[in-house]
Structure 1
Amino acid sequence: MTVDDIEESRMNARRIGSCMMVPLLLALQPAWADEAPGDAQVQQVIKLPLKVNKPAAAEHGEAPAAKSEGKPAAKSEGKSVAKPEGKSEGKAAEGKPEGKAAETAKPGAEAGKKAEPAKGEPEKLAPSVTMSKPPARDLSQPSPEVHAPGGRPRSAQRIRPKAAKAKTAKARAGKAAGEAGQVKDVVGSIIKANSAYISKHSPGYLLRLGERAAPKATVVTCSSPGGRVGMQGGDADADLFVISNLGNQLATSEGSIEYGVRHLHTPLLMFVSHTGCGAIKAAAGDYSGMEPSIQKELDNIEIPKGIDATNGALININNQVEGAILKFSGEVEAGRLAVLGGYYDFNNDLKQGRGRLVITNINGETDPVRIRELSRSGRYFHYAFMGQ
């Protein structure tokens, strides 16, 4: 067969229909390539218009990707190809800014497929899980269901605030119980002392004591226990009209003192201070932060600021004696009232013995030597300022 015959056969095949020849030629293509790799005519047959434009995904049986309108995605070996700046593949979209997302897929696209995001922009994913509302319980407390191996359940730890409150309440109850116990002890001591006093006296003595309305002395002491402890526990208490106040003052208890002197007709008025008096220390310092009522009482204690407690107490005694002599000048001039001052010396500051009651003023006399002479001779109605 000549070349002309072969050419005529080819023309006839084309007229019958190239579509029927395409599969046959595709099947014969490898064989022809193996038999005559260098034959130019066979190569011409292979160059027939048999090219099929299939996407890479379709060759492997994958569904074609949804196309963006007017912008087909360019791929090279499975990797996205970046667009040149200012240009787009296919037909350029005029007037659109660089990086703007492509329009939605065409109406015929497969259901469930999403349009690809624009080049250079991260893909935005909508949250697929809706956050629930926070629990109503206090998240600052541990879960009651969780506990460490071998440890206490967390439910026991959650009641710690209640346990702390219970502990505080217990401490307060203990303090109250301590205060109640203290009161019980004091009351017991008072009753015990009273029982001891009753056991030492006859019923007739106690009857007369109750009816007695004529004490022998009006004594003004400091409210502190140190101001009156030296006069307690003896029969002398029955002869005393005792008044206690802050700093053993005349001005603070003027009515009570006047009642003892002018209505009970006591011949002796005595002011007694003591070592370490708190009122004296306060009056010598700054008491502006105290309550107004306390300030008012401390204002009557006229002593120098910064003075020590012992000298301050002695000065205060002299001031109270002088004030009483002026107030009760009629009784003093008539010789019916002696006004004395005393000091319980628990520190033995005056060298008369620790805890001794030392007379420091007799009717205005403050010289220790003269006071000792008057005391030994019993001249308590001696008034030096009167020339007696």
Structure 2
Amino acid sequence: MKQERQDFRERFIDRRGFLKQSASSAASLLVAASTFFWRSKQAQAAELSPTTAQPLKPEAALQKLMAGNQRFRQHHPQYPDQSAARLQAVSQAQHPFATILSCADSRVPVELIFDQGVGDIFDVRIAGNIATPEVIGSIEYAIVLLDTPVLMVLGHERCGAVTAAVNSEVLPGAIGSLVKAILPAIEPHKAATAALIDTAVLANVRYQIAQLKRSPLLAERLQAGTLKIVGGCYDLDAGSVTLLT
């Protein structure tokens, strides 16, 4: 009887060990499968976005941006162009399909909110998304020398720089230069309350677009139909970008 109990105990321990090992193996297989799926997805994205592809037309480039934002806000990102192969492909030359002038706000990372990768967006960031001479020069470089077919000026709700301009805040150091560049845009909205700050945000986007269109280099591309300039506003809560009309 004692021997039978001993045999039963040993069989029970062996079975429990087997079950633990099986569970561990299953978990390992699940992790391995997930890793394989992610890497396959990355490789596929790299193959679908070769740097030697035919340049996009302006409208197609804009559609690609907005499709990426839709994936982002629906929480279904594809994480394109982030593989090792992509890094090598763009290491010697860049061919971004879009240029975006956006606010330097940490909550508005354009590659993430448009679900794009390395070498896809020529990203010009400055507080208040203002078109200073240096910014215009950077954008001209992207449009003229890199042939990006779409330029978006992207503002966002509750922008601190625009709010400071509306409230005529006195800011230390060179921070005030940002407000100075926004003031002409929001002059009609100087009496705005906090609830109407976003109206000034949209006015600022339109004003900066007008400044950019004064560039002879950009105007030439617009006239030729090889460039499209659009304004957008990013919703911090929803993660969505709305195009300005």
Interval containing the TM-score (normalised by the shorter chain):
0.5 to 0.7
One-letter code aligned to 1:309: I
Cα distance in 2 between the residues matched to 1:232 and 1:198: 22
1:274 maps to 156
Is residue 200 from structure 1 mapped to residue 88 from structure 2 by the alignment? no
Pairwise CA distance, 1:230: 6.8
Pairwise CA distance, 1:333: 0.7
What are the within-5 Å matches in structure 2 for residues 66-85 of structure 1? none
Q: Please report the TM-score for the alignment, with normalisation by the length of structure 1.
A: 0.38
Cα distance in 1 between the residues matched to 2:86 and 2:162: 40
- Of 334, 354, 357, the match for 2:241: 357
The structure showing larger relative contact order (alpha-carbon pairs under 8 Å, at least 6 residues apart) is: 2
One-letter code aligned to 2:178: E
Is residue 305 from structure 1 mapped to residue 190 from structure 2 by the alignment? yes
1:338 maps to 228
Q: Conserved in 1, the CA contact under 8 Å of 2:131 and 2:211?
A: yes
C-alpha RMSD over aligned residues: 2.5
Cα distance in 2 between the residues matched to 1:245 and 1:197: 34
One-letter code aligned to 2:224: A
Which SS does the other structure have where 2:174 is aligned? helix
One-letter code aligned to 1:344: Y
> Aligned pair count?
159
2:22 maps to none
What are the within-5 Å matches in structure 2 for residues 102-117 of structure 1? none
Please say which structure displays the higher CA radius of gyration: 1
2:147 maps to 265
1:85 maps to none
Q: Percent identity?
A: 27
Cα distance in 2 between the residues matched to 1:230 and 1:199: 18
Pairwise CA distance, 1:305: 1.7
Q: Conserved in 2, the CA contact under 8 Å of 1:274 and 1:345?
A: yes
Q: Please report the TM-score for the alignment, with normalisation by the length of structure 2.
A: 0.58
Q: Conserved in 1, the CA contact under 8 Å of 2:86 and 2:118?
A: no
Which SS does the other structure have where 1:227 is aligned? coil
1:323 maps to 211
Cα distance in 1 between the residues matched to 2:39 and 2:102: 23
Pairwise CA distance, 1:234: 3.4
One-letter code aligned to 2:241: L
Q: Conserved in 2, the CA contact under 8 Å of 1:267 and 1:336?
A: yes
CA gap of 1:326–1:262, structure 2 versus 1, over 3 A, is same
One-letter code aligned to 2:137: G
Q: Conserved in 1, the CA contact under 8 Å of 2:157 and 2:198?
A: yes
Is residue 238 from structure 1 mapped to residue 126 from structure 2 by the alignment? no
Q: Residues 99-128 of structure 1: CA distance to partner in whole angstroms, max 9, x if unpaired?
A: xxxxxxxxxxxxxxxxxxxxxxxxxxxxxx
- Of 209, 216, 233, the match for 2:90: 209
Cα distance in 2 between the residues matched to 1:261 and 1:229: 18
Q: Residues 144-184 of structure 1: CA distance to partner in whole angstroms, max 9, x if unpaired?
A: xxxxxxxxxxxxxxxxxxxxxxxxxxxxxxxxxxxxxxxxx
Which SS does the other structure have where 2:90 is aligned? helix
One-letter code aligned to 2:124: I
What are the within-5 Å matches in structure 2 for residues 123-138 of structure 1? none
Q: Conserved in 2, the CA contact under 8 Å of 1:324 and 1:339?
A: no
Which SS does the other structure have where 1:248 is aligned? coil
Which SS does the other structure have where 2:153 is aligned? strand
CA gap of 1:291–1:203, structure 2 versus 1, over 3 A, is closer
Cα distance in 1 between the residues matched to 2:126 and 2:174: 13
